[in-house]
Amino acid sequence: MGPPIWGFLQPCLLLLLAEGPQHGYSLLEKLNEQKLLNGVDVGNLYRTLRRMEGAGMVESAWSERGAGPNKRVYRLTPDGEGMLRRWAGALEQRTSLLSRFLDEFHRVYGLDGALAPPEGMNEDEENLI
Amino acid sequence: MGPPIWGFLQPCLLLLLAEGPQHGYSLLEKLNEQKLLNGVDVGNLYRTLRRMEGAGMVESAWSERGAGPNKRVYRLTPDGEGMLRRWAGALEQRTSLLSRFLDEFHRVYGLDGALAPPEGMNEDEENLI
DNA sequence: TATTATTATATGACTGTGACATATAGCAGA
DNA sequence: TCTGCTATATGTCACAGTCATATAATAATA
């Protein structure tokens, strides 16, 4: 229902890959573990990784298979690291934008009301911004 | 190029309308003045307002004309205020999500690098969340 | 007077990201 | 054998945004 966290998946993936090459499914798990992003759609994740590879942010290779099905292992490129740094700066700006909104909100409504969503909102809507 | 601030326009409009009824063009100006959102597309604004009216968050009426062209004046409904409160809560959660990302980023890259975008990024990309 | 700018609302065409569903395959264990 | 987990992938759809364009009333300027 509520809008998703648009464009946040890519910087999250870049950040995780900055700590070392990984395959898609592993990235999915870490997104949840580290609570960077909740309930990421698997299909969307793989498609995003391929898109990022097309854009030159990451590169992939099939792993020398260990156990289980084959894994496509992604690693960050220099271009990808550059993008990550710019994302980080942009996200900082976004934080200040959100702060300005919240300040204004509290100015109008005082301290009440802002804490409704955890109870009153469904799971979809919790997944905003 | 970079992703826009998806779904942030609606709560901004609700917040501005919480301070009193206004018409679309006025809202556009205030978004810029108060720097809640920069460079909002006019077409998108009007379509968003109509969508919000369809969803029952706002109501509109043609103004008893003063000067200039007719104005469609919007006002917040009780449902809209409820939505605004939930948005505010959701946006607070989003802030903490962004903080977690930025903390992790600084953990990996130290204090350098994060401040690239203001110079190195084009205007489009500055508009990220 | 004619022309341009500002205010104000609106639609058409297109794009990117995400949501949901579905397909596939290898392997482990009941 | 059947179920479940790991792992990758595609198809279809919806939504909010971008860019372009249309319209009209009024104010300012040449």
Q: Which of A72, A94, A60, A83 is nearest to A14 (CA)?
A: A83
Q: How far away is chain B from the Cα of A26, in angstroms, using its nearest Cα?
A: 18
Q: Which of A37, A101, A112 is nearest to B7 (CA)?
A: A101
Ordered strands of the B72-76 beta sheet: B22-23, B72-76, B58-62
Q: Which residue has the tokens 């909100």?
A: A105
CA of A17 to C1' of C12 (A): 41
In chain B, what residues touch A123 (CB-CB under 8 Å)? Answer: none
In chain A, what residues touch B15 (CB-CB under 8 Å)? Answer: 101, 104-105, 108
Give helix A24-33 / helix A9-17 axis angle, nearest 10°: 100
Please list the pLDDT of chain B residue by residue as tens digits (129 residues): 456 789 999 999 999 999 999 999 999 999 999 999 988 999 999 999 999 999 999 999 999 767 778 999 999 999 999 999 999 999 999 999 999 999 999 999 987 655 554 333 433 344 444
In chain B, what residues touch A100 (CB-CB under 8 Å)? Answer: 34-36
Asked if A97's CB is within 8 angstroms of B5's CB, the reply is yes
DSSP assignment of A12-53? HHHHHHTT--EEHHHHHHHHHHTTSSSS--HHHHHHHHHHHH
Read off the pLDDT of residues A23-32 as tens digits, 9 standing for 90 and up.
999 999 999 9
Protein-nucleic contacts, chain A 56-85 to strand C, CB < 7 Å: 67-69
> Residue B23 to residues A66, B45, B78: CA-CA distances in angstroms?
62, 11, 18
**Quick check: A4 CB within 7 A of strand C?**
yes
> Residue B51 to residues A89, B12, B59: CA-CA distances in angstroms?
32, 14, 11
How far apart CA A78 and CA A68 sit, in angstroms, is 30
Please list the pLDDT of chain A residue by residue as tens digits (129 residues): 456 789 999 999 999 999 999 999 999 999 999 999 988 999 999 999 999 999 999 999 998 767 778 999 999 999 999 999 999 999 999 999 999 999 999 999 987 655 554 333 433 344 334
How far apart CA A83 and CA A60 sit, in angstroms, is 17
Distance of CA B95 to the CA centre of its chain: 15
Protein-nucleic contacts, chain B 64-83 to strand D, CB < 7 Å: 65, 67-69
CA of A20 to C1' of C25 (A): 27
> Residue B63 to residues A25, B24, B32, B73, B77: CA-CA distances in angstroms?
56, 12, 23, 6, 17
CA of B101 to C1' of C22 (A): 32
Q: Kindly report the pTM of this predicted structure.
A: 0.87
Q: Residue A57 CB: number of other CB atoms within 10 A?
A: 23
